[in-house]
Amino acid sequence: MGRLDGKVAVITGGARGQGAEEGRLFASEGATVVLTDVLDEDGARTADAIQGAQYLHLDVRSESQWQQTIDAIVARHGRVDVLVNNAGIDLAKRFEHTTLEEWERIVAINQTGVFLGMRTVARAMFAANRGGSIINISSVAGMEGAKGRAAYGSTKWAVRGITKVGAMEWGDRGIRVNSIHPGIIETPMTAGLRAFTDADVHARTVRTIPLGRVGQPIDIANMALFLASDESAYCTGQEFVVDGGIHH
């Protein structure tokens, strides 16, 4: 039997990268998977390649779209057991050069999107009265200062904080809330970074990682699987760092 047999899992940012890998792994472990994203072609293609998976368009910045999406999932499947708040964008820019428009866009997707997802899904979990697991993807930039990441890092610290509040407020309803903090992971979002485009920078980066390699989406998916499953039944309000040992 799979570790997620019978569970209904919603994964934002599921069209590619970490979200897509989580969808594939969750489905292989018995979950009914719903992928959401704004990259509709990629999302539909990813879902089509996963047996039993469904793709729905969702801009995580939109309160109404969140409600419509979760209502549709509950109408079809009866409940939501797992939410992975995976959707997010990066901005590599020094503090003094970051514009207000850039700041607000990062906050809307990376922070407000997580808030809306947690709130909407928690309400659905209350109604089903079955508890559940909410997994928020933060970053090691939410554990320490990240040079050149004022906007991005701020949102990832916020995700870490709201995770703890959700865990405290909803524990008595059987809802667990945890955050995952990836290090350097090779995904479409990070593909343009010099750590992946410049061989010398890549080599120097790898030398800073105790385990001697950059991370892959499956490394994050495996941690998400643990947190989605009943194997983590006594874990809530915690940070799970997956970075090859950089943050210690």
Fold (CATH) for 8-184+220-242: Rossmann fold (3.40.50)
Q: In what order do the strands lie in the sheet with 175-182?
A: 54-57, 32-37, 8-11, 82-85, 132-137, 175-182, 239-242
Q: Kindly report the three-state secondary structure assignment for every residue of 160-175.
A: HHHHHHHHHHHHHHCE
pLDDT at 127 over 90: yes
pLDDT at 113 over 90: yes
Phi, psi angle pair for 179, to nearest 5°: -120, 145
Q: Which residues pair with 179 in a beta bridge?
A: 136, 239
Q: Which residues pair with 115 in a beta bridge?
A: none
Phi, psi angle pair for 135, to nearest 5°: -120, 115
Q: Are 82 and 31 in contact (CB under 8 A)?
A: yes
On the CB side of 18, CA atoms within 13 Å amount to 33
Q: How far are the Cα atoms of 16, 64, 175, 230, 233 from residue 129, in angstroms, in the given order?
A: 32, 23, 10, 16, 16
Tell me the two tokens of residue 215.
């991370």
Average pLDDT over residues 107-120: 98
Q: Can you tell me the distance from the alpha carbon of 176 to that of 162, in angstroms, rounded to the nearest whole number?
A: 13
Residue 110's pLDDT band, with cuts at 50, 70 and 90, is very high
Q: Can you tell me the distance from the alpha carbon of 4 to that of 29, in angstroms, rounded to the nearest whole number?
A: 5
194/36: higher pLDDT: 36
Q: What is the pLDDT of residues 206-229, one digit of tens each?
A: 888 899 998 899 999 999 999 999
pTM for this one? 0.95
Of 152, 157, 170, 240, the catalytic one is: 152
pLDDT at 90 over 80: yes
DSSP state, residue 140: G
Q: What is the pLDDT of residues 30-62, one digit of tens each?
A: 999 999 999 999 999 999 999 989 999 999 999
pLDDT at 192 over 70: no
pLDDT at 166 over 70: yes
Q: Can you tell me the distance from the alpha carbon of 30 to that of 200, in angstroms, rounded to the nearest whole number?
A: 42
Domain locations in the chain as residue ranges: 8-184+220-242
Average pLDDT over residues 170-189: 91
DSSP H helices in the chain: 17-28, 40-48, 63-77, 100-107, 113-128, 150-170, 194-197, 199-207, 217-228
| pLDDT at residue number 62 | 98
Q: Can you tell me the distance from the alpha carbon of 195 to that of 216, in angstroms, rounded to the nearest whole number?
A: 14
Tell me the two tokens of residue 177.
């809330």
> End-to-end CA distance of the chain, in Å?
35
Catalytic residue check, 152: yes
